[in-house]
Structure 1
Amino acid sequence: MFEALEKINQRPEPFQFYTASDLWTDDHTSKQMLSFHLNAAIDVSSRNAAFIDRSVNWIADRFNVDAGIDIVDFGCGPGLYAQRLARRGANVTGIDFSIRSIEYAQNAAARERFNIRYLNQNYLEFATERRFDLVLMIMCDFCALSPMQRKGLLNKFHEILNPGGQVLLDVYSLSAFEKRKETATVEANQLDGFWSPDRYYGFVNTFKYEREKVVLDKYTIVEAQRTRTIYNWLQYFAPEALEREFLDAGFFVEGFYSDVAGTPYDPQSEEFATVARKEEN
Structure 2
Amino acid sequence: MVNDCGKLMEAWRRIKDDPTAPRPWHDGDKIPWHEPAFSERMLAIHLDQRTHMASRTLDVIGHHVGWLCERLRVLAGAERGLRVLDVGCGPGLYCHEIARRGHETVGFDFAPAPLDHARAVAAQEGLACGFHHADLTRLDDDALALFGAVDAVTFWFGEFNSFQTDVARRFLKRLSSVLRPGGLFALEVQPYDSFDREDVNEWQLHESSPLCDGPHFWLQRHHWDEDAQAEITVYWIIDARTGEVERFAQCHQAWRDEELVAALADAGLTGAVFEPPLSVAPWQ
Counterpart residue type for residue 211 of structure 1: D
Report Cα offsets for 1:132-177 as digits up to 9, x if no partner.
1111000111000011210111111122222222211111112212
The TM-score with structure 1 as length reference comes to 0.83
Identify unmatched segments of 5+ residues in structure 1: 264-268, 273-281
- Deviation (angstroms), 1:17: 5.4
- Deviation (angstroms), 1:80: 0.9
Find 2:150's aligned residue among 113, 129, 132.
132
2:90 is paired with a residue whose SS is coil
Counterpart residue type for residue 176 of structure 1: S
Distance 1:150 1:26, change over 3 A: same
Q: In the alignment, is the contact (CA less than 8 A) between 1:213 and 1:236 conserved in 2?
A: yes
The TM-score with structure 2 as length reference comes to 0.82
2:271 is paired with a residue whose SS is strand
When you count strand as a share of all residues, which structure comes out higher? 1
Distance 1:74 1:12 in 2: 29
- For 2:161, the equivalent position in structure 1 comes to 143
- For 1:113, the equivalent position in structure 2 comes to 126
- For 2:4, the equivalent position in structure 1 comes to none
How many residues are matched?
Answer: 263
Distance 1:202 1:156 in 2: 37
Report Cα offsets for 1:177-214 as digits up to 9, x if no partner.
2x44211123344x844321244332201000123321
- Larger-gyration structure (1/2): 2
1:243-258 counterparts in 2 under 5 A?
A: 243-258=261-276
- For 2:171, the equivalent position in structure 1 comes to 153
1:47-86 counterparts in 2 under 5 A?
A: 47-64=56-73, 66-86=79-99
Counterpart residue type for residue 47 of structure 1: R
Give identity over the alignment, percent.
Answer: 22
Counterpart residue type for residue 14 of structure 2: A
Report Cα offsets for 1:63-91 as digits up to 9, x if no partner.
22633312110011111110111112222
Q: In the alignment, is the contact (CA less than 8 A) between 1:176 and 1:270 conserved in 2?
A: no
Distance 2:161 2:178 in 1: 21
Q: In the alignment, is the contact (CA less than 8 A) between 1:28 and 1:195 conserved in 2?
A: no
Distance 1:102 1:50 in 2: 21
Distance 1:187 1:141, change over 3 A: same
2:189 is paired with a residue whose SS is strand
- For 1:185, the equivalent position in structure 2 comes to 202
Report Cα offsets for 1:91-113 as digits up to 9, x if no partner.
21110121110111111111110
Distance 1:5 1:216, change over 3 A: same
Counterpart residue type for residue 107 of structure 2: G
Give RMSD over aligned pairs: 2.5
Distance 1:39 1:125 in 2: 30
